[in-house]
Amino acid sequence: MTGRERYIPYLFLLPALALIIIFNLFPTIATLIESLHGNSLVRGGRVFVGLGNFNRVLNDPVFWKSMQVTGLFSILVNPIQVALALGLALLANSKVRGITVFRSIYLLPVAVSINVTTVVWGLMLNSEGGLINGILNLVGIERQPFLISPSHALWSIIILATWKGVPLWTLFFLAGLQGIPQTVLEAARIDGAGRWQSFRFVTLPLLRGVLLFVLVADTVANFLLFAPVLLLTRGGPQLSTNLVMYETYRRGFVYGDLGVSSAMLSLMLLLVFAVIGVQFTLLRRRA
C-alpha cells in the first residue's frame, strides 16, 4: 500500500466524521462549557460560575424528583420494549401464510412521526371523550384518568413510547434472526432440542450482538424521550412524568436558565454512559 493509498479510507470516513463533529461532538462540548456559565442578573451578560450550576442542580429537589421519574420510566420501558420487540420478531420470522402482510402492518408506527403519534394517542387517552375510555365504558369499566392521574400518566407515556418504539427494534431483531444459519437450528433439532431449548441455547446466544445494540440504543432513545411529555402532560400531574429531558428543556427554554439546563444535561450524559457501561459489562460477562 502506497503512502497515498493509506489515507484513502480516512478520506471516505471524513464526511461522516465531519457530521459527527458538527452535530454530536460540538454540541456536547458547547453544553459542557455552558454548564460552567450563568447569566449575571446583577451585572448582566454571561459569567463564569465554575461548578455553581452543578451545585444548584445537585441540591435541587425537583431535579432529584425528575431523576427518580426517569429511573422508574427506564426500568419499566426498556425491558418491556426489548421483550416485545424480540417476541414480535420471532412471530414475524415464522413462515406462515400472510406473514408479509403482518410485517408491513407492524412496521407502520415507524413511519409516523412522534408528534403525530402523540397527538393521536392524546385524543384516544382523553379522560372525557377519548376512544379508549369510550370502549371501556361500553364494556362496563369506568372511565380512567389516563393522562391526569399521577398513577396513570407515566404508564400512558410508556404505552405510547412502546407503540412507537417496538417496531423499529423488531426490525433489528428480525434481521438478526434471519442471519442465523438454518443449519445450526436444524442441528439442534436433530440433537433433540425443543423450541424453547433452541431459542434459549441457540437463537439467543447468536442474537447477543443485536440484543446488545438494541438494548443500548433503546435505553438512549428512552432517556431522550421528550415530545410526548411536552405535548401531553408537560411533566405533570404532580411531576409524575417529569423526565429529566423535559425538566432540562423547561429550565433552559422556558425559564431561560441555560447554565442549569446544561448542567442537568451533562449529568444526564454521565448517567447514560454509566448505564450503557453496565449493560455492556453484564452482557459481556454472560457471554
Partner 1 sequence: MHIRYIVLMTVALLLVVAPLAAQEATTITWLNCCNWPSEEVIAEFEAENPDINVEVETVDFNALFEQIQVRLGGGASDPDVLSVDVPVTAGYGLRGWLLPLDDAFSDEDRADWLPAALAAGTYNGELVSAPVSTSTQLLFINSDLFEAAGIEVPGVDDRLTYEQVADIAAQLTQDTDGDGITDQWGFSWEQTVRIYQLQPLAVGLGGQSIGDDGLTVDGVINSQAWIDGFTFYSDMFNESRVAPQDDTIGTSDLFWSGKMGMMIAGPWNINRYLREADDIDFDWTVARHPYFENGEVTTPTGSWHIGVNINSDSPDEAKRFVQWISTGAGAEAWWRRGSGDFPAQQSVLAQFQTDEEFDEGVQYFLRVAADEATVNPDPRAVSPGYLEYEQILQDAFQDIRTGADVEESLNLAVTRIESEMVKYRG
State the nearest-atom distance from the C-beta of 68 to partner 1, in Å: 14
State the nearest-atom distance from the C-beta of 24 to partner 1, in Å: 21
Strand ranges (E), the chain: 37-39, 46-48
Q: Is 128 in the site for partner 1 (CB under 8 A)?
A: yes
Out of 127, 144, 198, 279, the residue judged to bind partner 1 by CB under 8 A: 127
Q: Is 50 in the site for partner 1 (CB under 8 A)?
A: no
Other beta carbons less than 10 A from residue 164's beta carbon: 22
- Sequence-distant (≥ 6) Cβ neighbours of residue 174 within 8 angstroms: 89, 92, 93, 103
N-term to C-term CA, the chain: 37
Out of 3, 9, 15, 61, the residue judged to bind partner 1 by CB under 8 A: 61
Out of 24, 28, 115, 137, the residue judged to bind partner 1 by CB under 8 A: 137
Of the pair 115, 137, the CB lying nearest partner 1 is at 137
State the nearest-atom distance from the C-beta of 258 to partner 1, in Å: 7
Q: Between residue 216 and residue 255, which ones bind partner 1 under the rule CB under 8 A?
A: 234-239, 250, 253-255
**Burial 183-219, CB ≥16 within 10 A → b, else e:** eebeebeeeebeeeebbeebbeebbeebbbebbbebb
Q: Is 34 in the site for partner 1 (CB under 8 A)?
A: no
Of the pair 44, 192, the CB lying nearest partner 1 is at 44
Out of 15, 44, 98, 140, the residue judged to bind partner 1 by CB under 8 A: 44
Between helix 150-178 and helix 61-93 the angle, nearest 10°, is 40
How many Å apart are CA 186 and CA 188, to the nearest integer?
5
Question: β-pairing, 46-48 with 37-39?
Answer: antiparallel
How many Å apart are CA 146 and CA 130, to the nearest integer?
10
Of the pair 39, 198, the CB lying nearest partner 1 is at 39
DSSP 3-state of 235: coil
Q: Is 38 in the site for partner 1 (CB under 8 A)?
A: yes
Other beta carbons less than 10 A from residue 280's beta carbon: 13
Q: Is 120 in the site for partner 1 (CB under 8 A)?
A: no
- Taking CB under 8 A as the rule, which mask of x and - marks residues 168-197 in contact with partner 1? ------------------------------
Question: Where do contacts with partner 1 occur on this chain (CB under 8 A)?
Answer: 38-39, 41-42, 44-45, 56, 60-62, 126-129, 137, 145, 148-150, 234-239, 250, 253-258, 260
